[in-house]
């Protein structure tokens, strides 16, 4: 069993899969010239050029960690990016965070107006489920639960409710918001990928450790995100820094300080990485020992945990 | 073969299935007391008490017409109502139609504010796909295509673009908007139901005539809707009458007049009804002749076509 840490393995994985993910995104979406063209332009504007494409990469990694060929999960990977992007477009709307800048450019509603941005978000959410369907009904259910009222949307509601509500700021509440607003979709990306690796959906024995890995990764990722809002520049972030502070958002460093936040993110990432060997051992049991894909997957899981806390944007 | 028209058959079908549909809706949605409770309250407010529940009934009818037991399609039926309701909540928002009244009560954003109404709509759309997944991946794809940028959302974009754009009003454009904004989801309801009747999705030989039936039904339904905006009262409609006129909307009677519109809706309904015998004959070929469910389904299909044009709301 290869469980050695591969430094830079995830960066290499991203390089390998970047183009296929972009191709899958363009295949899932109607072309910007398709009627109604303003709508499709707005959807493309929000999606291209992309950000980190972290969630599609996690879908592909989830597939590989479950012993599948990541190529089988490319459409589902594109789906996760559409779903993530819809959440950004809607979060940026005037009635929500009212943001002007996203991925270094004016937000979707600044360019296309509120009505079209709202509808482009709706259409991105909808097409996400068309893409996820390729990974089977269990993937669709996992994605819907993670992104709906008990997941991402629920987290966004609590995030908005917490703004300026300083009297009720507790660490438990921040964690609840993180887990729902960000963590649920990160975990779902891995699960959707795992489902794509099995004709009738992945077995629970594999989904359980993958869920624990994803939940730790999500927390490490979101605490790091909160810290980057304090320490990053607009050029690095592609969005307005100190935006959380300006909105009076409930963040991890606001509760425990920057230094302790960074240390805790490291601990969470290490705990996630520690789960990789067990997870891959489970996968091997379904794959007669598995092949070279599974050898690499353990190192990739450990490396993506490091990436989550070491990144600059 | 029983192809005789059963007068009132669809009304009886609705009576039979009304309670099971409400139960399925409450089972698909988290309770209003579940955290975040304001979000779940807003979702319940938009869904209960309901309107006609036409789309869930079409899912159940589509399942029966495909030779399946409608009970197998109840969760998918609830999904279609969630999807329809999300579209109403978002359409009513200030940046869209800016409506105050819906189903006889203040619109969702009037009660819960814009941010929560937007998010409740997002969550309703998301949970719709969780419900549709029970009818299999083909149902998810059919629903996503019908409700996304090439379907309902696309129709809404064109509908908004056409407002006040009197120079470009043509009958072809009205039909395009009708087909996309309303027709696509009506057809999808029938298709999703048919998919629920087969373990691996319904065969194309059945989906083809069902699609033609749904498209005609959708046109008859939407022309009737446009006419009701002119002739109905607020009490009958549960929403503001003459709202289309006030917004300068592109409607069928605005193009050809009320009398001709009503006659054309009747013709479309008759054409839809005429497809029922062929459709049921196809179903029988997959079911060794079929049973009493299929005997009744032919009459139901014909009756729902009459209902689409005879209704008062």
Q: Which of residues 127-186 of B touch A (CB under 8 A)?
A: 127, 129-130, 132-134, 136-138, 140-141, 143-145, 147-150, 153-154, 156-158, 160-161
Q: How far is CA B86 from CA A200, B8, B57, in A?
A: 30, 30, 18
Instruction: Look over chain A and give the mean of its residue pLDDT values, rounded to a whole number.
Output: 92
CA A145 to chain centre: 14
Phi, psi angles (nearest 5°) of residue A101: -125, 135
Task: Give the confidence band of B249 by pLDDT, cuts at 50, 70, 90.
Answer: confident
Residue A200 has pLDDT above 70, yes or no: yes
Percent of chain B, pLDDT > 70?
A: 94
Task: Give the confidence band of B167 by pLDDT, cuts at 50, 70, 90.
Answer: low
Give pLDDT, residue A4: 43
A:B CB pairs within 8 Å:
142
Q: How far is CA A11 from CA A15, A100, A186, A301, in A?
A: 6, 30, 18, 12
Task: Give the confidence band of B166 by pLDDT, cuts at 50, 70, 90.
Answer: low
Residue A161 has pLDDT above 60, yes or no: yes
Testing the interface with A: which of B139, B140, B145, B146 to mutate, by most A Cβ within 10 A?
A: B140
What pLDDT, in 10s, does the model give residues A71-82? 999 999 999 999
Whole-angstrom distance, CA of residue A90 vs CA of residue A102 = 12
What letter does residue B93 receive in the DSSP assignment?
Answer: S
Asked if B150's CB is within 8 angstroms of A90's CB, the reply is no
User: Exposed, middle or buried, B230 (CB in 10 Å: 0-12/13-18/19+)?
Assistant: middle
Q: Which of residues 205-234 of A touch B (CB under 8 A)?
A: none
Cβ–Cβ under 8 Å, residues B70 and B62: no
Asked if A150's CB is within 8 angstroms of B93's CB, the reply is no
Give B123→chain A minimum CA distance, Å: 5
- Taking the Cβ of residue B95 and every Cβ of chain A, the question of whether any pair is shorter than 8 Å is answered with yes
What pLDDT, in 10s, does the model give residues B219-237? 999 999 999 988 877 777 6
Give pLDDT, residue A288: 81
Short-list A211, A173, A185, CA closest to A79: A185
Kind and range of the H or E run holding A105: strand A105-106
Short-list B215, B249, B207, B214, CA closest to B230: B249
What average pLDDT does the segment B279-302 reach?
89
Short-list A33, A62, A303, CA closest to A188: A62
Give pLDDT, residue B145: 98
Measured between CB atoms, which of A114, A123, A134 is closest to B149? A123
- Taking the Cβ of residue B90 and every Cβ of chain A, the question of whether any pair is shorter than 8 Å is answered with yes
A199: tokens are 């004709």
Task: Give the confidence band of A32 by pLDDT, cuts at 50, 70, 90.
Answer: very high
Whole-angstrom distance, CA of residue B169 vs CA of residue B156 = 16
Asked if A141's CB is within 8 angstroms of B137's CB, the reply is no
What pLDDT, in 10s, does the model give residues B24-34? 999 999 999 99
- Taking the Cβ of residue B278 and every Cβ of chain A, the question of whether any pair is shorter than 8 Å is answered with no
Measured between CB atoms, which of A127, A156, A157 is closest to B148? A127
Residue B6 has pLDDT above 60, yes or no: no
Instruction: Look over chain B and give the mean of its residue pLDDT values, rounded to a whole number.
Output: 92
- Taking the Cβ of residue B247 and every Cβ of chain A, the question of whether any pair is shorter than 8 Å is answered with no
Residue A65 has pLDDT above 90, yes or no: yes
- Taking the Cβ of residue A38 and every Cβ of chain B, the question of whether any pair is shorter than 8 Å is answered with yes
Measured between CB atoms, which of A133, A143, A149 is closest to B40? A149
Tokens 């996630």 sit at which residue?
A272
Give pLDDT, residue B237: 67
Short-list B86, B59, B85, B84, CA closest to B73: B59
Give pLDDT, residue B4: 43
What pLDDT, in 10s, does the model give residues A226-249? 999 888 777 776 767 677 777 777
Residue A1 has pLDDT above 70, yes or no: no
Tokens 């005879």 sit at which residue?
B310
ipTM computed for the complex: 0.94
B187: tokens are 């057809």
Task: Give the confidence band of A3 by pLDDT, cuts at 50, 70, 90.
Answer: very low
Residue B147 has pLDDT above 90, yes or no: yes
Whole-angstrom distance, CA of residue A264 vs CA of residue B135 = 43
What pLDDT, in 10s, does the model give residues A265-303? 999 999 999 999 999 999 999 988 667 889 899 999 999
Topology of domain B9-304 in CATH is: Farnesyl Diphosphate Synthase (1.10.600)
Give pLDDT, residue A167: 64
**A contacts of B119 (beta carbons < 8 Å):** 90, 153, 156-157
Short-list A179, A252, A177, CA closest to A218: A179
What pLDDT, in 10s, does the model give residues B111-139? 999 999 999 999 999 999 999 999 999 99
Q: Is A202 helix (H, G, I), strand (E, B) or coil?
A: coil
Task: Give the confidence band of A210 by pLDDT, cuts at 50, 70, 90.
Answer: very high
b/e per residue A112-136 (b: at least 16 CB within 10 A): bebbbbbbbbbbbbbbbbbbbbbbb
Whole-angstrom distance, CA of residue A220 vs CA of residue A207 = 20
CATH code 3.30.450.80 for A9-310: no
Give B95→chain A minimum CA distance, Å: 5
β-bridge pairing A101-102 and A105-106: antiparallel
What pLDDT, in 10s, does the model give residues B41-62? 999 999 999 888 999 999 999 9
* CB proximity list for A67: less than 8 A, separation 6 or greater: A197, A283, A284, A286, A287, A290, A291, A293, A294
Asked if A90's CB is within 8 angstroms of B118's CB, the reply is yes
Question: Domain ranges in chain A?
Answer: 9-310
Residue A7 has pLDDT above 70, yes or no: no
Q: How far is CA A107 from CA A100, A110, A225, B158, B274, in A?
A: 5, 5, 19, 22, 50
B306: tokens are 């009459």
b/e per residue A266-303 (b: at least 16 CB within 10 A): bebbebbbebbbebbebbeeeeeebeebbbbbbbbbbb
What pLDDT, in 10s, does the model give residues A136-153? 999 999 999 999 999 999
Whole-angstrom distance, CA of residue A131 vs CA of residue B144 = 9
- Return the beta strands (E) in chain B as ranges: 101-102, 105-106
Percent of chain A, pLDDT > 70?
A: 94
Give pLDDT, residue A253: 92
Residue B3 has pLDDT above 60, yes or no: no
Residue B151 has pLDDT above 50, yes or no: yes
What average pLDDT does the segment B142-170 reach?
90
Count other Cβ atoms within 10 Å, centred on residue B26.
15
Cβ–Cβ under 8 Å, residues A177 and A250: yes
């Amino acid at each position: 069993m290869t469980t050695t840490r591969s430094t830079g393995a995830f960066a290499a994985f991203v390089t390998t899969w970047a183009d296929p993910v972009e191709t899958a995104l363009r295949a899932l979406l109607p072309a910007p010239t398709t009627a109604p063209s303003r709508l499709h332009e707005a959807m493309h504007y929000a999606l291209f050029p992309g950000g980190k494409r972290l969630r599609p990469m996690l879908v592909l990694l989830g597939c590989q960690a479950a012993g599948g060929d990541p190529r089988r999960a490319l459409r589902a990977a594109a789906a996760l990016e559409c779903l993530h992007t819809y959440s950004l477009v809607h979060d940026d709307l005037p009635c929500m965070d009212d943001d002007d800048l996203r991925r270094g450019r004016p937000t979707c509603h600044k360019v296309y107006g509120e009505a079209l941005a709202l509808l482009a978000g709706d259409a991105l959410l909808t097409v996400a489920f068309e893409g996820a369907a390729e990974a089977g009904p269990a993937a669709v259910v996992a994605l819907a639960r993670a992104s709906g009222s008990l997941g991402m949307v629920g987290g966004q509601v609590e995030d908005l409710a917490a703004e300026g509500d300083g009297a009720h700021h507790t660490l438990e509440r921040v964690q609840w918001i993180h887990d729902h607003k960000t963590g649920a979709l990160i975990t779902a990306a891995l699960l959707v990928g795992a489902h794509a690796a099995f004709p009738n959906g992945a077995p629970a024995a594999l989904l359980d450790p993958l869920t624990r890995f994803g939940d730790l990764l999500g927390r490490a990722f979101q605490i790091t995100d909160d810290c980057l809002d304090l320490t990053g520049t607009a050029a690095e972030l592609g969005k307005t820094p100190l935006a959380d502070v300006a909105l009076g958002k409930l963040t991890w460093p606001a509760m425990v300080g920057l230094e302790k936040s960074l240390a805790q993110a490291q601990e969470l990432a290490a705990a996630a990485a520690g789960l990789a060997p067990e997870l891959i051992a489970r996968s091997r049991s379904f794959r007669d020992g598995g092949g070279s894909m599974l050898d690499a997957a353990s190192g990739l899981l450990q490396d993506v945990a490091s990436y989550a806390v070491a990144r600059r944007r």
